[in-house]
Amino acid sequence: MCSGQTSVDDDGAPVNPGDMGAQVMKALDNLETVLIGAGFTLSDVVRLNYFVTDVDGFIEAA
C-alpha cells in the first residue's frame, strides 16, 4: 500500500499553488516515483482516492 502523495518537490515544498490540474499531475508523478522505487508501475495501481480542499477546482481539472 502507498498513501499520502501530494504536490510537493523533492525538498517537500508545495508546488503549483492555485493550479489544481498541475497539483494532481505532480502528485501522480510523485506516486509513480515511489512505485518505481518499490519495483512497481502505475499499471499496478488498482485504486486511487483523492482528498481535496477545493472540490470545484478538482472537478474543473479532471
pTM value is 0.87
pLDDT of residue 17: 93
Asked if 44 and 15 touch (Cβ cutoff 8 Å), the reply is: no
Residue 4, phi then psi, degrees to nearest 5: 80, 30
Q: Is 20 exposed, middle or buried (0-12, 13-18, 19+ CB in 10 A)?
A: buried
The better pLDDT of the pair 11, 3 is held by 11
Tally Cβ neighbours within 10 Å of residue 51. 7
What's the topology of domain 1-62? 60s Ribosomal Protein L30; Chain: A; (3.30.1330)
Instruction: State mean pLDDT over 5-13.
Output: 94
Q: Give one word for 18, left, alpha or beta, with left for phi > 0 and alpha for psi -120 to 50.
A: left
Strand-pair partners of 14: 8
